[in-house]
Amino acid sequence: MRVLHILDHSIPLHSGYTFRTRSILREQQALGWDTFHVTGSKQGVCADLEEDVDGLHFYRTPAINGPLAKLPVLNQKAVIDGLTRRLSEIIPLIKPDVLHAHSPCLNAIAALRAGKKFGIPVVYEVRAFWEDAAVDHGTAKEFGLRYRVTRGLETYALKRVNAITTICEGLRKDIVQRGIAADKVTVIPNAVDIDKFSVGGIADLALKAKLGLQDKRLIGFIGSFYAYEGLDVLLRAFPLMLTHAPDLRVLLVGGGPQDGALRQLAKELRIDDKVIFTGRVPHEQVQQYYDLLDVLVYPRLSMRLTDLVTPLKPLEAMAQGRLLAASDVGGHLELIEDGKTGVLFKADDPQSLAQKVGTLMDAPQQWPALREAGRRYVETERNWPISVARYKQIYSRLTGLRGL
């Protein structure tokens, strides 16, 4: 089986998107399949048109330059056109059996063009809807003109590809509601590399002292500070928790668009001396900060994006046997069973967060069972060998190749 993966971006860039891709590629290769990989122009300027990163070989597409790069709509057409040209160069060299395009739909449309030209079936993997991501980033208004055009492009691609995969049930249901046959859509859920996560990490007391947190209990978040993560809800809940837990502190590890607003909110709430912003930390040091936290909090806001899409971070926390609390948005409900693998609080509600997290902090006798159940869940249901095995039936059906 020879599979050409068509990607928006990849490692060495760091994102949930690139890490999921890397895990899929490595597991497919472990199955004995030949995988090939091309990124579109959104990878950015690359010194060479081919690049080896972390044992994987990538074909790159030249970045868009000139007047089209700055023009709405036309710049997206340029992305499709550039990727289509690059596919026309690569496909005769590698002769893939399947074109596997990953979000956004620009990649799927380019793959459809190439698939038609060379007679190769196309799989489209939907990780999120482009239009909803644009709303969160502030580049489009929900159900505005740009939103509707983008949604139309997604639906256009979904109707024409040979098979669809997606990362969760929320997205699958939305796809089917667009008039797509249910048997055309397969869920390949997010998962974790179990071997990369161990249970029982011990807090680095020197680091804790360096942060001024000795003798403090810690709740917090590790990741990118986007608006939809709802970290403002965590900060608003914190004063309510301090009234009966004065030794509690909040540790926020990372950075992003909301960094400045969150720091300002902490000042306004007069908790800036009790909320520690570490800024971004090197990847190899992230584990040390996980080991400091008593409870990881994921307060995602309720919106289409978070109700439809399952995040990766809670799975990584469960793989480490961590305690976690999360808002009850749809994406979390697919991953976390309240009171069994974590606790859930009402989305957008600081008082609910304060009550549920406070109760968890005060009930250490419940912690071992929560930690064990979370780890068991990822071991049995959310690991990459189990997820990637689901591609076998899809590829076999499209290519006629048996015994994959």
- Extract the tokens encoding 63: 């970045």
Task: Say how far apart CA 317 and CA 41 lie, in whole Å.
Answer: 33
C-alpha angle 294-300-236 in degrees, rounded to nearest 5: 70
Mean pLDDT, the chain, whole residue set: 92
Burial of 263 per CB tally in 10 Å (0-12, 13-18, 19+): middle
- Is 355's pLDDT higher than 70? yes
Question: What's the pLDDT at 403?
Answer: 62
- Extract the tokens encoding 359: 């109760």
**Per-residue confidence band for 4, with pLDDT thresholds at 50, 70 and 90:** very high
Span 36-66, pLDDT tens digits = 999 999 898 888 999 999 999 999 999 877 6
The one-letter amino acid code at 100 reads H
Burial of 197 per CB tally in 10 Å (0-12, 13-18, 19+): buried
Task: Say how far apart CA 258 and CA 176 lie, in whole Å.
Answer: 34
- Extract the tokens encoding 52: 């080896």
For the chain, give the percent of residues with pLDDT over 90: 81
Question: What is this structure's pTM?
Answer: 0.84
Tally of CB atoms within 10 A around 116: 11
**Per-residue confidence band for 71, with pLDDT thresholds at 50, 70 and 90:** low
**Per-residue confidence band for 361, with pLDDT thresholds at 50, 70 and 90:** very high
- Is 233's pLDDT higher than 70? yes
Query: What kind and span of H or E run contains 238?
Result: helix 231-242
Q: Are strands 248-255 and 275-279 parallel, antiparallel or unpaired?
A: parallel
- Is 69's pLDDT higher than 70? no
- Is 143's pLDDT higher than 80? no
- Is 152's pLDDT higher than 70? yes
Task: Say how far apart CA 86 and CA 114 lie, in whole Å.
Answer: 10
For residues 311, 229, 358 and 242, what is the CA-based torsion angle, rounded to 10 degrees? 160
Question: What's the pLDDT at 197?
Answer: 86
Task: Say how far apart CA 192 and CA 14 lie, in whole Å.
Answer: 16
For the chain, give the percent of residues with pLDDT over 70: 94
Question: What's the pLDDT at 75?
Answer: 79
Question: What's the pLDDT at 45?
Answer: 84
Question: What's the pLDDT at 77?
Answer: 87
If phi > 0 it is left, if psi is from -120 to 50 it is alpha, else beta; for residue 282 that is: beta
- Extract the tokens encoding 304: 């289409």
Span 83-142, pLDDT tens digits = 999 999 999 999 999 999 999 999 999 999 999 999 999 999 999 886 666 655 555 566
**Per-residue confidence band for 146, with pLDDT thresholds at 50, 70 and 90:** confident
- Overall average pLDDT of the 212-238 stretch: 96
Number of H helices, E strands in the chain: 17, 14
Span 270-313, pLDDT tens digits = 999 999 999 999 988 999 999 999 999 999 999 988 999 999 89
Query: What kind and span of H or E run contains 156?
Result: helix 145-160
